[in-house]
Structure 1
Amino acid sequence: MLSKRSLVGVPLKFHTLALLFLLFLGGQAFAVDPAVSDSEEAIAAGKTVFNANCKQCHKLDQKAVGPALRGITDRRSPDWAKSFIKNSQAVIASGDDYANALYAEYNNLMMPSHEFLSDADLDNLLSYIEYGDKVDPAAAAAATAGAAGGEGAGGGIPTEYLTIIVVVLVIVLLLILIVLGLIISILTKYVNKQDLDEDDKEFISQKFQLGKVLKSDAFVIIVTALVVALVAKTAIDGLYSVGVQQGYAPTQPIAYSHALHAGTLEIECQYCHTGVEIGKSANIPSANICMNCHMHVQNVQGQEGVSPEIQKIYDAIDNNQPIEWVRVHNLPDLAYFNHSQHVKVGGIECQTCHGPIQEMEVVYQYSSLTMGWCIDCHRQTEIAAGGNEYYDKLVQLHADSKDALKVKDIGGLECAKCHY
């Protein structure tokens, strides 16, 4: 005898299977893509990838050589973004409307492929693009206003104010001399009306004679002393300036603008000067480094043809000849200087020695680079000892001192440190 089956048994089983199937499809369609993470680790790793590969042409929140990147995962899917970053040429060739619109907007400027980036690198990069270095517009405006309002506060008197002060002092001195002259004139007239001896009248009535003053021994001694002092100072200044090339700005074979590359485009110094963190010399960049960008960037945006200056890079490559850059900063052979020791270990910014390099159209020697200049820096610069076991003993020995541990305290003033 067949057992009775529930009339709702089959529908319940069907509905259960259908519901599970729909939930699966819904989960696939609406699950949050794990690629874009707001974790600090992912953002930090993504920033490293961005600085090494993207920063030369892109910014997060404004246009540069290429478009602003923030919000790309809102405009397109993360998978599309990864495909475009890896091989933009392939996405454009596939007929993708968005990719071709970007290509046309930026004058058919092709982005280099990044096939070497792993999926993890791309995930971290997208995380940094979406969540990294966000700036609150209100806070930025307030900071800008504060900087403008506080300009000059605690930073010394501006040069133009000093000029005004000197002019005012000169005018005051002239007014004092005029007032003294008037007082002498009035007193002379008053005294002449009194009953005086002939000798007193003659003394009061005597005229000022410039000739006698110029011939007097006192005047000759004063003038001679001033001339000798001026000549001696000029000679000493000349001796101190031997070998000092502060302000030296030679003409380079290619009119390379640091203001454009390091300033506007914010390209890191280390991208071109590859040895600055790993060796004694910062290295003068080769034409191959230039071609990393200029195989795609051939001119200023909006202009046609190849820039004459960029053409010089192509000519150097074609002729297999190095670009003969003129060295700007020179130290004498008797002095030892190690870039990695200062930049990597000491954490010294490039601008500390080279000045506002990001504002220079033509690079010039900003600092004097004399021995006294270096010694003054060693006397004032504090050691970043935190997290470095090398300095633990030195910090312990220096604990009793009220001053912070400085370069001078670890041998920074010893002759053999620089003159080996």
Structure 2
Amino acid sequence: MSINRSILSVPLRFSLLLLLFFQLSGTQVYAVNPDVSNSEEAIAAGKTVFNANCRTCHRLDSKNVGPALRGVTDRHSIEWTKKFIKNSQALIASGDAEAVAISSQFNNLVMPAHEFLSDTDLMNLLAYIEYGDKADPAAAAAPADGVQAGATGGSGIPSEYLTIILVVLVVVLLLILIVLGLIISILTKYLGSQKLDAADEEYINQKFDFKKLIKSDGFVVIITTLVIAFTVKTALDEILTIGVQQGYGPKQPIAFSHQLHAGQYEIECQYCHTGVEIGKSANIPSANICMNCHTHIQNVGGKEGISPEIAKIYAAVDNNQPIEWVRIHNLPDLSYFNHAQHVAVGGIECQTCHGPIQEMEVVYQHSALTMGWCIDCHRQTDINSKGNEYYDKLVQLHSNSKEALKVKDIGGLECAKCHY
């Protein structure tokens, strides 16, 4: 009895197939700390905390502005993790090796403090991180408070689709390998019960040869396909981040602290950024606006008694020279954005786009500010029409709909609204 050796040059065993699959797929299994609750209530509450405070910079299962969060209680202790979430900068300043290493890995980007989160909030957050959406489906949609929708700086759809496709391909590969393993096992048993010539019997009973496996055409095709797929996905992710400056926080000519002025002293944003309610631009404040306060504050003993940073303001005024602030939030020239339309008419808070500005010692770009990010916000943001005559007729026209009036319903998705 002869055997067609072209079916498979090397007999594979089921255990090897599984081992090969897990090696190629890079599957990671985390040991979740048993103190983290897996109750539905804790996970749901944690998801609310995550969406409100973490989702802009983090994803559960993929790297974004910050690291992927899933498995954090396996990599670090719960107490350390809570300290880092509440005030990462304090932990870094203390010289903690783990915190310093993470900060260095992500270019020393400043993570906002979350001192307002209670211990219960933090434990619920960890419950969601470890047991929440396994595929992180929420990463494809941004909430109405203006957070980023995807890790690629757009709506996140291209990267998410590629990830799903890769996962499906790996699963299909696993099923194929399992089926092949079962077929080989059945054929081997069947042929072993038949009368074979010496050559065939030797072929059936041959031992597994790893060198032949890695040189086989099938193995080369599998490895090449996976390498190409992951390379293409990585390249597309990097291409889609071009021009996205989320996390950008340059050094300014004067060390102005929003945490001190907007946070501790509760100075309204509109006091310094005078154009935000009346024009397209919010305006960078002139030195004269600074002097409205600093003529009387920190001026004991004349100019000699003021701090070096405030002295720079005096120098700008005395020399009639503008302060050369470094622009942080940049939109491409092809895009139109009007602050007054959003702030005065739409009633949008500054923090919706700029993040917790009152907590920032050094201001950085909090949101992605990409087209996908803006569109997702327009799709999900309800129109605040109460007491606003601007929307009266629009609300009347929308009265037959059961859903709330959203920005998308009044032209928020029209190309010409932002590109003309």
TM range, normalised to the smaller chain? 0.5 to 0.7
Whether contact under 8 Å (1:152, 1:158) holds in the other structure is no
Amino acid at match of 1:383: I
Aligned to 1:325: 325
Bigger CA drift: 265-274 or 385-394? 385-394
Q: Cα distance 1:203–1:269, how it changes in 2: closer, same or farther (>3 A)?
A: farther
Whether contact under 8 Å (1:299, 1:310) holds in the other structure is no
Bigger CA drift: 406-415 or 198-207? 198-207
Aligned to 1:362: 362
**Counterpart mapping for 1:83-98 below 5 A:** none
Q: Cα distance 1:235–1:335, how it changes in 2: closer, same or farther (>3 A)?
A: same
Cα separation, 1, equivalents of 2:299 and 2:120: 40
Amino acid at match of 1:310: I
Amino acid at match of 2:250: P
Aligned to 2:377: 377
Amino acid at match of 2:267: I
Any gaps of 5 or more consecutive residues in structure 2?
A: 1-115, 133-191
Aligned to 2:314: 314
Bigger CA drift: 356-365 or 198-207? 198-207
Aligned residues: 248
**TM-fit CA distance, 1:209:** 2.7
Measured against aligned partners, the alpha-carbon deviations of 1:135-183 in whole angstroms (never above 9, x if no partner) come to: xxxxxxxxxxx97365269868454778xxxxxxxxxxxxxxxxxxxxx
Query: Percent sequence identity over matched residues?
Result: 72
Aligned to 1:151: 121
Q: Does 1:224 align with 2:224?
A: yes
Amino acid at match of 1:415: C
Aligned to 2:399: 399
- Residue aligned with 1:309, SS: helix
**Counterpart mapping for 1:236-255 below 5 A:** 236-255=236-255
Cα separation, 2, equivalents of 1:413 and 1:153: 39
Aligned to 1:408: 408
Q: Which of 1 and 2 has greater Rg? A: 1
Measured against aligned partners, the alpha-carbon deviations of 1:237-289 in whole angstroms (never above 9, x if no partner) come to: 23322221111111110111111111122111111111111111000011111
Measured against aligned partners, the alpha-carbon deviations of 1:50-70 in whole angstroms (never above 9, x if no partner) come to: xxxxxxxxxxxxxxxxxxxxx
- Residue aligned with 2:310, SS: helix
Q: Does 1:264 align with 2:251?
A: no
Runs of 4+ in structure 1 over 6 Å off: 153-156, 195-205
Cα separation, 2, equivalents of 1:202 and 1:254: 82
Cα separation, 1, equivalents of 2:229 and 2:299: 56
Relative contact order, CA 8 A, sep 6+: which one is greater?
A: 2
Cα separation, 2, equivalents of 1:338 and 1:396: 25
Any gaps of 5 or more consecutive residues in structure 1?
A: 1-145, 163-194
Whether contact under 8 Å (1:378, 1:413) holds in the other structure is yes
**TM-fit CA distance, 1:318:** 1.4
- Residue aligned with 1:151, SS: helix
Measured against aligned partners, the alpha-carbon deviations of 1:339-369 in whole angstroms (never above 9, x if no partner) come to: 0110111111111101111111111111111
Amino acid at match of 1:222: I
TM-score of the pair, normalised by structure 2: 0.52
**Counterpart mapping for 1:340-351 below 5 A:** 340-351=340-351
Amino acid at match of 1:257: S
Measured against aligned partners, the alpha-carbon deviations of 1:182-207 in whole angstroms (never above 9, x if no partner) come to: xxxxxxxxxxxxx9889899789754
**Counterpart mapping for 1:105-124 below 5 A:** none
RMSD: 3.7
Aligned to 2:87: none
Q: Cα distance 1:154–1:336, how it changes in 2: closer, same or farther (>3 A)?
A: farther
- Residue aligned with 1:377, SS: helix
Amino acid at match of 1:351: Q
Cα separation, 2, equivalents of 1:157 and 1:206: 51
**TM-fit CA distance, 1:388:** 2.3
Aligned to 2:56: none
Cα separation, 1, equivalents of 2:361 and 2:204: 67
